[in-house]
Amino acid sequence: MKRTTILAVLMAMAAMTAQAQTYLDPNAPLEERVKDALSRMTTHEKIQLLHAQSKFTSAGVPRLGIRQLNMDDGPHGVREELEWNTWSPAKWTNDYIVAFPSLTCLAATWNRDMSTAYGNAVSEEFAFRGKDIMLGPGVNIQRTPLNGRAFEYMGEDPYLAGEIVVPYIKAAQANGIACCLKHFVLNDQETNRFGVNVNVSDRAMREIYLRPFQKAVEKAHVYTIMGSYNMWKGVHCCHNDELLNGILKKEWNWDGALISDWGGTTNTMEAALGGLDIEMGTYTDGKTKESEFGYENYYLANPFEKLIEEGTVPMSVLDEKASRVLRTIFRTAMNPKKVIGSQCSENHYDVCREIGEEGIVLLKNDKNILPLDASKYKKILVVGENATRSLTQGGGSSELKTLRDISPLEALQTMYGDKIDHAQGYYSGRAIYDRVDRIDPEKQAFLKAEALEKAKEADLIIFIGGLNKNTRQDCENGDRESYNLSYGQNELISELAKIQKNIVVVTFGGNPYAMPWLNQVAALTHCWYLGSESGTSLVNVLSGKVCPSGKLPVTFATRYEDYPYVKFGKEAYPGVDNQVYYKEGIFVGYRHFVTNNVKPLFPFGFGLSYTTFAYNKPISTVANHNIIIQTTVTNTGKVAGKEIVQVYATAPKGSVERPTKELKGFAKTKLLQPGESETLRITIPKEELSYYDETKHGWTLTEGTYTLNVGANVNDIKGKVNVEVK
Ligand code: GLC
């Protein structure tokens, strides 16, 4: 055979082999893998990529060796395995995991490195459990303290939420696990979450609600995003053309896959043309109700395939969706760099504990009763159901099945031995989803009387209460019914304080709440939810082993009525006739309290320490597009501690109303020993100072003099610098 023929045969074979390899070649460029895979798929195979094949998986292409996508909740750890097609636990025995602290706790650390550690550790657990997509994190904005899912989010400020969510996503996706940022967008209440249409100004939409999602897309390149149940401009966000095709995919140039919330898809044509890529959980209620339809009846299944076959919807629409799903598969399931991960490893517990320790916020500490000096006390009485109740269970889809769940009481007993006495004080029953246990008043009265009796013998009381993961507390699919703590806690705290003035209150919960007893207690720490190492993190802070450094990512108002939307009535929350109007506009949280001089109980960014810090005069330099604020912080106290320095911008008077202060930068010091200083350099890109101009439909940077306020919280400014922006 002639040399040329042999060569031709060899080249043809090589071409065939090369052709056969591209989508399977881990070293081939991503877009070539996508294109090659797509070119080999039938229409039906493309369609199957676009919807669930089980509760938490969507199909791959078995014939071509393209893997399915394994998804699972949630933002705080890997949910226990559920049955293939029901919401019931599969009762596996190898799916116990680490419950990490709630994301509001992570936000309260104001520590970007902690966020990296969190994303890395939690994604290692997802990888080890064989998942490709983790259904989290969430960055919906806390406009109301009644939102049942606030504990899953990162507070009231879009800058803080954006800055903290980016490292988490980068670290998780570096491990080959896709984040699924949720809930896109305006899912800021649980009341009527499937049916409410959110009316919000374009400016508030851009500056407040879209902002953290935009940062995650532009800075962290988040691989998938979950559409929310609610509507915007009368169209469901899971297939909202203006939101998903207009803003997310075109304006932000996002190349990922948009996944519906479970049961968030409502019709085929909108799903086809409105930017949805993977339809999950249809015909269910995202929690318990099962679907009597099979997966082939999903809107993007047979009904959509029919539209393609008929030519009603062009093949290009299907190819675009399928390409986004393939891209996700090659970034995760078929990513050669995807880690094996680990589960319940000690370093994960260490990360969990450290985030908890740094997220706990010390709100009051009279006469430095904290850190506890146990030698001063003979009998320490621990009162409250949250001293023993597991707070990793419940709460909805973010619930977790843990191997380790150290309670505060257990940790206190380990630290202080038999000095510790305990009285439950109150009980809340179990109220999972809509089944609410009836509270027996007699039992409640007995528990209270028992605690008050024991209080007489104690020379220190630690009350441990707050919210819990029951429905109508911090739980999905329902909002709190009151700004007050439940189960008679306010009265109990007040009566305990009358018996023993040495009382330390410790609360758990994702939201602010009223504190009628605040002046009666000596100290108060708020802990959000701390996960598997809850008790250890708490006791390390109470004992002084760790100096508290957390600061509030939300404003704690004295009265519910002080929140900006309340004066506008039900239309502003929770809505009337399926319409809710964000009448406060951009004035959410501290933007309202500061601009309108409403004194909060505890301001945004507030948190005490066991030590004190001095700030030297800040200086600013402008380099290219960045303003750099430099300030030196010195530990002027007696114990080592970390300080969070915040920078709030005051814009020059311009054509539109602007909040008096807006968070535009922050940094956390390393652990400073007494007398030690650290110089912090906080970089503020100039465009961060822009506002959204509704007339221009674009961001605008006003020229003029900006005052950059450097402080320990939004109301405690230590120094200012004026910067000219041209
Ligand atoms: C739920 C939640 C969503 C969760 C999904 C799967 O309804 O809204 O956050 O990831 O369904 O459980």
397 lines ligand 1 (CB under 6 A): yes
Contact between 229 and 187 under an 8 Å Cβ cutoff? The reply is yes
Distance of CA 564 from the midpoint of ligand 1 (Å): 29
Contact between 439 and 358 under an 8 Å Cβ cutoff? The reply is no
153 lines ligand 1 (CB under 6 A): no
Segment 635-646 mean pLDDT = 98
Q: Position of tokens 């002084």?
A: 544
From 433, 476, 477, 479, the mutation candidate for ligand 1 (largest count of ligand atoms within 8 A of CB) is 476
Atom of ligand 1 nearest to the CA of 287: 7
Task: Please name the residue whose Cα sits nearest to atom 5 of ligand 1.
Answer: 262
Distance of CA 357 from the midpoint of ligand 1 (Å): 28
Residue 256, pLDDT > 80, answer: yes
Atom of ligand 1 nearest to the CA of 138: 9
CB count in 10 Å sphere of residue 121: 25
Contact between 277 and 259 under an 8 Å Cβ cutoff? The reply is yes
Task: Please name the residue whose Cα sits nearest to atom 12 of ligand 1.
Answer: 397
Atom of ligand 1 nearest to the CA of 79: 12
286 lines ligand 1 (CB under 6 A): yes
Strand, coil or helix: 391: coil
Distance of CA 195 from the midpoint of ligand 1 (Å): 16
Distance of CA 586 from the midpoint of ligand 1 (Å): 27
Q: Residue 45's pLDDT is what?
A: 98
Segment 3-27 mean pLDDT = 72
Beta pairing partners, 705: 724
Selecting among 36, 72, 157, 261, the annotated active-site residue is: 261
From 188, 196, 261, 288, the mutation candidate for ligand 1 (largest count of ligand atoms within 8 A of CB) is 261
Going by C-alpha positions, the residue among 8, 124, 130 that lies closest to residue 81 is 130
What whole-number percentage of the chain has pLDDT above 90?
Answer: 94
What burial class does residue 505 get, using C-beta atoms within 10 Å of its C-beta: 0-12 exposed, 13-18 middle, 19+ buried?
buried
135 lines ligand 1 (CB under 6 A): yes
Atom of ligand 1 nearest to the CA of 152: 9
User: Can you list the alpha helix ranges (DSSP code H) found in 524-641?
Assistant: 534-542, 590-595
Q: Residue 557's pLDDT is what?
A: 98
- Residue 726: pLDDT band (50, 70, 90) is confident
Q: What is the pLDDT of residues 322-335, one digit of tens each?
A: 999 999 999 999 99
Distance of CA 627 from the midpoint of ligand 1 (Å): 40
Q: Could you tell me how far CA 104 lies from the centroid of its own chain?
A: 6
Q: Residue 3's pLDDT is what?
A: 73
Q: Is the dihedral of CA 540, 544, 546, 547 positive or negative?
A: positive
Atom of ligand 1 nearest to the CA of 183: 9
Atom of ligand 1 nearest to the CA of 228: 8
Going by C-alpha positions, the residue among 226, 236, 231, 286 that lies closest to residue 259 is 226
What burial class does residue 40 get, using C-beta atoms within 10 Å of its C-beta: 0-12 exposed, 13-18 middle, 19+ buried?
middle
Going by C-alpha positions, the residue among 648, 600, 679, 622 that lies closest to residue 160 is 648
Q: Residue 505's pLDDT is what?
A: 98
Better pLDDT: 4 or 674: 674
Distance of CA 261 from the midpoint of ligand 1 (Å): 6
Q: Residue 183's pLDDT is what?
A: 98
162 lines ligand 1 (CB under 6 A): no
Q: Could you tell me how far CA 416 lies from the centroid of its own chain?
A: 34
Going by C-alpha positions, the residue among 189, 182, 150 that lies closest to residue 582 is 189
Contact between 660 and 717 under an 8 Å Cβ cutoff? The reply is no
CB count in 10 Å sphere of residue 592: 23
Distance CA 488, CA 617 (A): 47
Q: What is the pLDDT of residues 75-106, one digit of tens each?
A: 999 999 999 999 999 999 999 999 999 999 99
483 lines ligand 1 (CB under 6 A): no
475 lines ligand 1 (CB under 6 A): no
- Residue 12: pLDDT band (50, 70, 90) is low
Backbone angles phi, psi at 259, to 5 degrees: -110, 135
Distance CA 261, CA 140 (A): 14
Instruction: Retrieve residue 200's tokens.
Output: 């919000």
Distance of CA 461 from the midpoint of ligand 1 (Å): 39
Q: Residue 372's pLDDT is what?
A: 97
Q: Is the dihedral of CA 518, 520, 525, 530 positive or negative?
A: negative
Task: Please name the residue whose Cα sits nearest to atom 6 of ligand 1.
Answer: 262
Q: What is the pLDDT of residues 418-473, one digit of tens each?
A: 999 999 999 998 877 666 678 899 999 999 999 999 999 999 999 999 999 999 99
Which H or E run contains 446? helix 441-455
Distance CA 323, CA 36 (A): 10
Task: Please name the residue whose Cα sits nearest to atom 3 of ligand 1.
Answer: 261
DSSP 232-244: ETTEEGGG-IIII
Distance CA 165, CA 115 (A): 7
Instruction: Retrieve residue 191's tokens.
Output: 């009341």
Contact between 123 and 341 under an 8 Å Cβ cutoff? The reply is yes
CB-side neighbour CA atoms (13 Å) of 703: 1
73 lines ligand 1 (CB under 6 A): yes
Considering just the CA atoms, what is the radius of gyration of the chain in Å?
Answer: 27
Residue 625, pLDDT > 90, answer: yes
Instruction: Retrieve residue 346's tokens.
Output: 């000690």
Report the range of poorest mean pLDDT among 286-295, 582-591, 717-726. 286-295
DSSP 308-363: HHHTSS-HHHHHHHHHHHHHHHHHTTT-TT-----SS-HHHHHHHHHHHHHH-EEE
Q: What is the mean pLDDT of the chain?
A: 96
- Is 261 catalytic? The answer is yes
Distance CA 486, CA 350 (A): 32
Contact between 523 and 493 under an 8 Å Cβ cutoff? The reply is no
477 lines ligand 1 (CB under 6 A): no
Q: Residue 433's pLDDT is what?
A: 64
CB-side neighbour CA atoms (13 Å) of 234: 0
Residue 20, pLDDT > 70, answer: no
Report the predicted TM-score, pTM, of the whole model to 2 decimal places.
Answer: 0.96
Segment 210-230 mean pLDDT = 98
573 lines ligand 1 (CB under 6 A): no
Distance CA 291, CA 311 (A): 29
182 lines ligand 1 (CB under 6 A): yes
Distance CA 340, CA 610 (A): 41
What whole-number percentage of the chain has pLDDT above 70?
Answer: 98
Segment 115-141 mean pLDDT = 98
Q: Residue 6's pLDDT is what?
A: 73
Contact between 178 and 326 under an 8 Å Cβ cutoff? The reply is no
Distance of CA 695 from the midpoint of ligand 1 (Å): 36
Residue 488, pLDDT > 90, answer: yes
190 lines ligand 1 (CB under 6 A): no
CA distances to 665, 695, 702, 720 from 705, in Å = 17, 23, 9, 12
Atom of ligand 1 nearest to the CA of 285: 7
Q: What is the pLDDT of residues 333-371, one digit of tens each?
A: 999 999 999 999 999 999 999 999 999 999 999 999 999
Distance CA 613, CA 719 (A): 13
262 lines ligand 1 (CB under 6 A): yes
Atom of ligand 1 nearest to the CA of 73: 10
